[in-house]
């Protein structure tokens, strides 16, 4: 299992860093406000992501079951903690985050730091964490269905099938909960098209339902449908040993994440205690010049990165077998 991702995990993990940098460049207030409130949670994610590369690099440095087992647990933590916490964070964002913004645009989070962290672990947020974790377990199982054979593949199919069913059930339950148990947010004033990036210049109401967005923009229903259908198709393909399960689970992940973004649009970080301080894609963005520079850089370099990443996967295509790992002294 480790050797199926051994050649590509390092490049994939860089996308997390790129994502954080892109948030900082495109929406600086979002970066400042979210990291102020989610500091301990983000620190836990960072610590887990630090464990992950160390686990890959050190696991085979010494012989011995205890040594390898210890680093296997480090790899488990490095994968499970971010998957869970990212989902918990999304669950909290949908409920609204308890922050204020002063007149000089300083974010404030009332209360003790430990209370802020424990407050993130509420029932709905933990349910969102279950969606995230089980959805990514399904994706990992889809990868192993494609890249392995024999006992490893059969075990991945069994675990992935259960994870997929849990993901579907948790996602549907979260949608019902969001519709009937969690009030949404709505702009009650126009946002100036060319105005300054200041969320306090708009007014926001914390009422109604998030799912009102589907009445205003019915086409966005394709996102949750894609999420549920993708997970169901991934399970079916996986049980047939078909590597297409990876594609279906990828579409499911896209659908689930898109459903959150499209449902919340234009909000990216609503405030539960000062709704008018809620951040939207417009009043929390960088200047037009910054966004244009990001666009130019992305247009030039993202295709290059995708091209050499695709080449790496092409070179390393095929299944990883037990015999290959046994014979290869450089295996992880």
pLDDT in tens, 201-252: 888 888 888 898 999 999 999 999 999 999 999 999 999 989 899 999 999 9
Q: What is the mean pLDDT of the segment spanning 156-173?
A: 96
Name the residue with tokens 């954080």: 20
Residue 239's closest CA among 148, 131, 153? 153
Q: Tell me, what's the pLDDT at 112? A: 66
Assigned token pair, 63? 């012989």
Q: pTM value? A: 0.89
Q: In this structure, is the dihedral angle defined by the CA atoms of residues 229, 233, 234 and 239, taken in order, positive or negative? A: positive
Q: Tell me, what's the pLDDT at 63? A: 83
Segment 246-270, tens digit of pLDDT: 999 999 999 999 999 999 999 999 9
Q: Tell me, what's the pLDDT at 190? A: 76
Radius of gyration of the chain (CA): 21
**pLDDT exceeds cutoff 70 at 32:** yes
Residue 167's closest CA among 228, 246, 224? 228
Q: What is the mean pLDDT of the segment spanning 272-291?
A: 88
Ramachandran category for residue 149: left, alpha or beta (phi over 0 → left; psi -120 to 50 → alpha): beta
- Do 97 and 41 meet the contact criterion of CB atoms below 8 Å apart? no
- Tell me which DSSP letter residue 271 carries: B
Assigned token pair, 126? 């933990």
Q: What is the mean pLDDT of the segment spanning 191-206?
A: 77
Angle at 129 between CA 76 and CA 278, to 5 degrees: 130
Name the band, by pLDDT with cuts 50, 70 and 90, for residue 115.
Answer: low
H helices of 148-244, in order, are 150-181, 213-216, 222-239
* Torsion angles phi and psi, residue 101, rounded to 5: -125, 125
Name the band, by pLDDT with cuts 50, 70 and 90, for residue 123.
Answer: very high
**pLDDT exceeds cutoff 70 at 81:** yes
Q: In this structure, is the dihedral angle defined by the CA atoms of residues 191, 193, 195 and 199, taken in order, positive or negative? A: positive
Residue 312's closest CA among 13, 11, 17? 11
The Cα–Cα gap between 159 and 153 comes to 10
Q: Higher confidence at residue 328 or residue 291?
A: 291
**pLDDT exceeds cutoff 80 at 331:** no
Say how many residues make up the chain.
332
Partnered with residue 265 across adjacent β-strands are none
Q: What is the dihedral of CA 242, 248, 253, 257, to 10 degrees?
A: 180
How many alpha carbons fall within 13 Å on the CB side of residue 217? Answer: 13
The three-state secondary structure class of 97 is strand
The Cα–Cα gap between 102 and 98 comes to 14
Q: Tell me, what's the pLDDT at 320? A: 85
Average pLDDT over the chain reads: 88
């Amino acid at each position: 299992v480790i050797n199926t991702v051994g050649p590509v995990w390092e490049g994939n993990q860089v996308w997390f860093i790129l994502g954080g940098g892109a948030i900082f460049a495109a929406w600086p207030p979002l970066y400042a406000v979210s990291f102020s409130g989610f500091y301990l949670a983000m620190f836990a994610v960072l610590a887990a992501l630090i464990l992950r590369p160390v686990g890959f690099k050190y696991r085979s440095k010494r012989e011995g079951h205890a040594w390898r087992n210890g680093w296997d647990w480090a790899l488990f933590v490095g994968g499970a903690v971010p998957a869970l916490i990212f989902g918990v964070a999304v669950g909290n964002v949908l409920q609204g985050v308890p922050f204020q913004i002063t007149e000089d645009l300083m974010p404030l989070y009332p209360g003790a730091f430990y209370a802020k962290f424990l407050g993130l672990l509420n029932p709905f947020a933990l349910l969102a964490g279950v969606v995230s974790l089980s959805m990514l377990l399904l994706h990992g199982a889809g990868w192993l269905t494609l890249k392995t054979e024999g006992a490893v593949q059969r075990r991945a199919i069994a675990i992935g099938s259960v994870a997929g069913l849990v993901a579907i059930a948790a996602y549907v339950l979260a949608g019902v909960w969001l519709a009937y148990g969690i009030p949404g947010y709505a702009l009650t004033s126009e946002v100036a098209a060319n105005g300054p990036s200041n969320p306090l210049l708009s007014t926001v109401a914390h009422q109604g339902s998030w799912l009102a967005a589907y009445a205003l923009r019915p086409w966005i229903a394709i996102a949750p449908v894609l999420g549920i259908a993708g997970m169901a198709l991934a399970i079916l393909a996986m049980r047939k040993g078909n590597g297409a399960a990876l594609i279906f689970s990828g579409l499911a992940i896209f659908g689930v994440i898109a459903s959150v973004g499209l449902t919340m649009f234009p909000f990216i970080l609503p405030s539960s205690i000062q709704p008018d301080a809620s951040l939207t894609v417009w009043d929390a963005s960088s200047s037009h010049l910054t966004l244009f520079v990001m666009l130019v850089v992305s247009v030039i370099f993202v295709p290059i990165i995708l091209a050499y990443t695709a080449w790496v996967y092409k070179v390393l295509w095929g299944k990883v077998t037990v015999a290959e790992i046994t014979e290869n002294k450089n295996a992880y």
